[in-house]
Structure formats: C-alpha cells, structure tokens
Structure 1
Amino acid sequence: MEPFINIRALIIDMDGVLWHGDQAIPGLTDFFQTLRAQNFRFILATNNASLTPPQYVNKLAKMGVTVTENEILTSGMATALYLSQHEDPATTRVFVLGEAGASEPLRQCGFTLTGLYQLNSAKTPGEGADIVVCGKDQTLSWDKLATASLNIRAGAKFIGTNADTTLPTEYGITHGNGAILAALQAATGVSPTIIGKPEPIIYQQAMALLGTDPAETVAIGDRLETDILGAVRTGIRSLMVLTGVSTQADLEASDYGPTWVMADIRAVTEALKTLAA
C-alpha cells in the first residue's frame, strides 16, 4: 500500500462518510477538529444536489461541526457552474427536476427556470425549456417526470447532477438520483450528460477552489463507482471508508480501487494525526 504522505488538501464526500441521513457517523467532530488543528484545506464535495450550502452548514452545525459555505461544493453547484460556462444564462431556460440545491445555484447564475406543464389544461401546456436538469428530489411527482420527459423529447438538453443509483440513509440504502435518470432515459430514449462523480468535473472544480495540485490532494468517499472512480479519472489519490455503499467484496471484484481503504472516519482521523507526528 502506498505510504500515507504528501497530503495537503482533502475532497470529502458526505453521505456515507460523515453521516447516514441525519445521524452522524461516530468520530465526526474529532475528524473536523483534526482537520482544523493540522491546517488541512478541504472541500466537502457531494453528488447529492438536494440541499444548498446554507442547509449543509446548518446540518453540520446540528452535529457539532462548524464549516463555511465556501467549504461546500454540491453537484448542483457544479452543474450550474458548468452550464454557465457553456450556455448564455440570459437566454437559456432550464426546467429543474430537483430541490433547492439544484435550482438555487442555477438561479444565482442568472438562468431562467421554467415551471411544470399544466397537463390538465385545455390550453397549451406551457413554455418549454432549453435544458432539463435532474437532481435528487424527495417531492418527485408524475407531473415533474412528465414535464421533464416532454421537454427532453422536444429537444431540450438532458443534464444529470449525478448518477448515484442508491443513497445511504439511517434507515438503509434507498434509491438515488440515478434511478430518476433511468426513468427519464427509458421514457425519452435520451442519455443524460452527468456532471457529478465519477466524471472529473466536480473534482477539478474542487481543486480550483482549494488552489492545490493533484499530487497533494486526496479524495475521501464511500462509493467505489463514483467517489473512487472519479478520483481515478481525475488523476488524484483516494481513500475509501467502509461506512457507506461499497464493501470490501466490491473492492475485490473491481479492476480499479482506492489508494487506501479504512474502516471509518475515526481511522482516517488517526491516520491524519500521524502526518503531524
């Protein structure tokens, strides 16, 4: 195993690494105290696009951890930044199937957001969108899926904030945004462009925010096919914890893997402490 050295910054996943739903994983506060004490730079980079940075700040505060909005990067934020670099926000209309974490960054970038089609109206259903963005949505409905499908079938670009098919919660593993994307793809025959992990985009954006070199940056995650594969594609080292979706058996069956594997963030904390020893 590669020596645990030359680490200046961390890109840290949240679901399955820091918590399960609203339940903190043991060792959370000590982990962040160690990061602060040893001056590690970090970005909390999540594929979950349902929450906004202030909501994540509040969620961590309830768990006894203080972070700033500048230390958070969601796939919703990454999607808005990516689209603002490739489209003109002033003239581009976007339908968002998702929650505030997906819609607010787009609104802040200047995009016009369209509403649901009035499918039961005798009139035309409504003005269409140029782009459909799909993120995790706990208020998913038939009308939302129908509006997204109709826009995509009419030629709108299809963007997925992330493609995680599952989501670890305090109740167990449930469906993720990838399941919603699969429904829309089945309904339209169109494959989405994915912004979140395992695509390198969000990791590259995180390193730009950190101002660090790939050689001194490490990604921490729990999911082999997103967090770890994304790090491999980006060319950075990675550390997988076994408190989320992927297991040791998954690792043994995979033709790629993380640089290091640890049981949980308590083990990561102890490893980080050795860097200052």
Structure 2
Amino acid sequence: MQEFNDVRGLIIDMDGVLWHGDRAQTGIGDFFQALRNRQLPFVLATNNASMTAEQYVAKLAGMGVEVGVHEILTSGMATALYLAQRYQPQSTRVFVIGGIGARQPLIDLGFTLTGLNDTEPQTRAHLVVCGMDRELSWDKLATATLNLRAGAHFIGTNGDMSLPTERGETHGNGAILAALTATTGVKPMIIGKPEPIIYRQALGLLNTPPERTIAIGDRLDTDILGAVRTDIRSLMVLSGVSSRADVEAADFGPTWIVPDIRDVTRMLLDLPA
C-alpha cells in the first residue's frame, strides 16, 4: 500500500463522508482542525446540487466547522461554469429541475431560466439542467420532456442513483434522469462525478498538481471512479454507500480504504511536518 505522505491538496466529498443528512459524522471537528493545523488546502466537492455554496457553509457552521465559500464546489456550480464556457449565457435559456443549488449558479453567470409554461418556440429552453429536486412534480417532468423533445440539450448535474440520509439510502438525481431518458430517449451529459469535469475544476481551484492531490469519498462508482478517470489517488471511507465487498467486486478501486474520517484525521496527524 502506498504511503500517505506526499499530499498537498484534498478534494473531499460531503454526503456520507462528513454527514448523513443533517447528522454530522463523529470526529468532523477534529478532521477540519487537522486540515487547518497542517495548512492543507482542500475543496469540498459534492455531487449534491440541492444547496448553494453559502448554504453549505452555513450547514457546516451548524456542525461547528468554519469553511469559506471558495472551499465549496457543488455539481450545480460545476455545471454552470462548464456551460458558461460553451454557451453564451445572455442568449441561452435554461429549464432547471432542481433546487436553489442548481438554479442560482446559472443565474449568477447570466443564464435566463425558463418556467413551467415556457414551451413555445420563442420561449422554450435551449438546455435542460436536472439536479436533485425535493419538490419534483409532474409539471416539471412534463416541461422538461417537452423541451427535450423539441431539441434542448440535456445536462445532469450528477448521475447518483441513491443518496445517503439520516433515514437511510434514498433515490438520487440519477433516478430523475432515468425517468426523463425513458420518456424521451435522450441521454444526459453528466457533469459531476464520476466524470472528471468537477475534479478538474477542483484541481484548478486548489492549484495543486494531480500527483500530489487526493480525493476522499464514500462511493466507489462516483468519488473513486472519478478520481481514477482524473488520474489522481483516492481514499474511500466506509461510512457512506460503498463497502469493501464492492471494491473487491470491481476492476478498479481506491488507493486507501478506512472506516471513517476519524481514521483520515489520524493519517493527517501522521504526515511529516
């Protein structure tokens, strides 16, 4: 096993790593204190696009952890940035399934968001962006379907089929994407993990070389596979979705496996000064 001794930056998942729903993982405070003591830069990169960076900062503050907005990267933010680099925001209309975390980054970058009744040729969307939506309705699915059938490009903030919560594992955004693909035949482009887009954006924020950067996550099929595709090392915690049995059954895997972030903290404390 490789030694954990040459890390210069971390890309850290949140759901299943730092918390389950609104319940913080034991040791979360010590983990972040170790990061600060080591002056180790990090980006909290999550596939969950339901909240804004500011809301994640507030959620962590409620758990006794202080981070800055610049240390957060959601798949909603990554999606908006990716689209702004490829479309003219001021002339591009977007229909969004998802919460404020998917909508606000697009608004911030100048995109026009369309509504449920904007399906005529002069008002319909050029893009359909779909993120996790806790207020999903038939009307939202119908509007997305009409736009996709009219030729809108289909973008998924992430493809997670499940989401760990304090009540257990529930459906994720991938289930919504699957429903829209089933009715339209259009497959979405995925921005979040396991695609390398969000990891590459995180590397840009960290300004650390890939070979000295480590991704921490709980899902083999997203966090770890995304790291493999980005050619960076990874550490999987067993406090979320995936298990050792999942790793043994796969043809890829993390560089390290530990039970939870308390073990990661011990690894950080053992780093050479």
For the aligned pair, the TM-score class normalised by the smaller chain equals over 0.9
Partner Cα distance (2:204, 2:118) in 1: 42
Question: What one-letter code is carried by the residue in structure 2 that aligns with 1:149?
Answer: T
Contact 1:77 1:102 in 2 (8 A): yes
> Is 1:208 paired with 2:208?
no
Contact 2:5 2:272 in 1 (8 A): no
Question: What one-letter code is carried by the residue in structure 2 that aligns with 1:68?
Answer: G
> Is 1:75 paired with 2:75?
yes
SS at match of 1:238: strand
Q: Scaled by the length of structure 2, what TM-score is found?
A: 0.98
Shift, 1:125, TM fit: 9.9
> Which residue of structure 2 aligns with residue 40 of structure 1?
40
Does the C-alpha gap of structure 1 residues 252 and 107 become closer, same or farther in structure 2, counting only changes over 3 Å?
Answer: same
Partner Cα distance (1:52, 1:241) in 2: 25
> Which residue of structure 1 aligns with residue 168 of structure 2?
172
> Is 1:265 paired with 2:255?
no
Partner Cα distance (2:121, 2:259) in 1: 52
> Is 1:159 paired with 2:155?
yes
> Is 1:145 paired with 2:141?
yes
> Which residue of structure 2 aligns with residue 29 of structure 1?
29
Shift, 1:126, TM fit: 8.1
CA RMSD of superposed structures (Å): 1.2
SS at match of 1:270: helix
Question: What one-letter code is carried by the residue in structure 2 that aligns with 1:178?
Answer: G
Shift, 1:90, TM fit: 1.0
Partner Cα distance (1:191, 1:62) in 2: 38
> Which residue of structure 2 aligns with residue 13 of structure 1?
13
Partner Cα distance (1:256, 1:118) in 2: 44
Question: What one-letter code is carried by the residue in structure 2 that aligns with 1:31?
Answer: F
Shift, 1:2, TM fit: 1.1
Partner Cα distance (1:188, 1:5) in 2: 49
Partner Cα distance (2:108, 2:41) in 1: 26
SS at match of 1:275: coil
Partner Cα distance (1:31, 1:101) in 2: 26
Contact 1:38 1:276 in 2 (8 A): no
Question: What one-letter code is carried by the residue in structure 1 that aligns with 2:66?
Answer: T
Identical-residue share of aligned pairs (%):
67
Contact 1:99 1:135 in 2 (8 A): yes
Contact 1:220 1:240 in 2 (8 A): yes
Partner Cα distance (1:197, 1:127) in 2: 32
Partner Cα distance (1:198, 1:78) in 2: 13
SS at match of 1:90: helix
Partner Cα distance (2:226, 2:189) in 1: 15
> Which residue of structure 1 aligns with residue 240 of structure 2?
244
Contact 1:117 1:125 in 2 (8 A): no
Unmatched segments (≥5 aa) in structure 2 = none
Question: What one-letter code is carried by the residue in structure 1 that aligns with 2:253?
Answer: G
Shift, 1:276, TM fit: 3.3
Partner Cα distance (1:195, 1:175) in 2: 19
Shift, 1:118, TM fit: 7.4
Partner Cα distance (1:237, 1:118) in 2: 45
Does the C-alpha gap of structure 1 residues 118 and 217 become closer, same or farther in structure 2, counting only changes over 3 Å?
Answer: closer
Contact 1:117 1:126 in 2 (8 A): no
Shift, 1:83, TM fit: 0.2
Unmatched segments (≥5 aa) in structure 1 = none
Question: What one-letter code is carried by the residue in structure 1 that aligns with 2:36?
Answer: R
Alignment of 1:101-116 (within 5 A): 101-116=101-116
